[in-house]
Structure 1
Amino acid sequence: MSGKNMKFLYAGIAIALLISVLAPFLASPDPDGLESAASGVIEESKLSELEGQEPAVSSPMPDYAIEGMGKSGEVMAIAIGTIAVLAISFGLGKVFNKKA
């Protein structure tokens, strides 16, 4: 990778991490669009039943937060998720970029 591409990559990573740090403070406390759309399409009784069910797979950081840590837990959860996605993307890029 050339120096210009590396600077672009580092700037992108820095922006992603900046957004992950600011997101908990800028996010709306209102229900998200998916919940609003579901309430308009699914009957209220069925929606309540679905919300009461246990998830098929439990999340390591439900609701984008680390329990008991408040806003700092939200920042850490989103930053960890961002770094994980970047690392997985980098790894997949390395695997699929190999020349045959």
Structure 2
Amino acid sequence: MSEIMSENNMKFLYAGIAIALLISVLAPFIASQDPDGLESASYDVIDEVKMAAMEEMDPVFESPVPDYAIEGHGKTGEVVAIVSGTLMMLVIAFVIGKLVKK
């Protein structure tokens, strides 16, 4: 029984990874070019002058892949950036899972 459960769990895991990678590949092609919900909501809440000042501030740290893209590579750079980020998150989740299991 345990062997069947483990096999089913592995199939479920592989299906989840495949779906995450599929979404990663398709995201640059189906994502909206308009500001996301959080960004557009901030314009409703924060004064325009204050928002402009915040946008001019230097960031605390630089993003390794700003705007989910590798500059100069178009959609291919976006796909590579998102897929690599997804894979990194999967590896981090796997490592944390192994550590918690101990």
What TM-score, normalized by structure 1, do the two folds share? 0.95
Please say if 1:52 is aligned against 2:56.
Answer: yes
Which stretches of structure 1, 4 residues or longer, exceed 4 Å deviation after superposition? none
Q: Deviations over 1:64-90 (max 9, x none)?
A: 001110000000000000000000000
Q: Distance in 1 between matches of 2:38 and 2:56?
A: 17
How many residues align? The count is: 98
Q: Which protein is richer in helix relative to its size?
A: 2
Please say if 1:94 is aligned against 2:91.
Answer: no
Q: Distance in 1 between matches of 2:26 and 2:70?
A: 16
Map of 1:73 onto structure 2: 77
Q: Deviations over 1:48-79 (max 9, x none)?
A: 01011121011100000011100000000000
Q: Distance in 1 between matches of 2:79 and 2:58?
A: 25
Structure 2 residue runs of 5 or longer lacking an equivalent are none
| Amino acid aligned to 1:40 | D
Structure 1 residue runs of 5 or longer lacking an equivalent are none
What TM-score, normalized by structure 2, do the two folds share? 0.93
Map of 1:30 onto structure 2: 34
SS at match of 1:45: helix
Map of 1:84 onto structure 2: 88
| Amino acid aligned to 1:95 | L
**% same residue:** 64
CA-based RMSD: 0.9
Map of 1:11 onto structure 2: 15
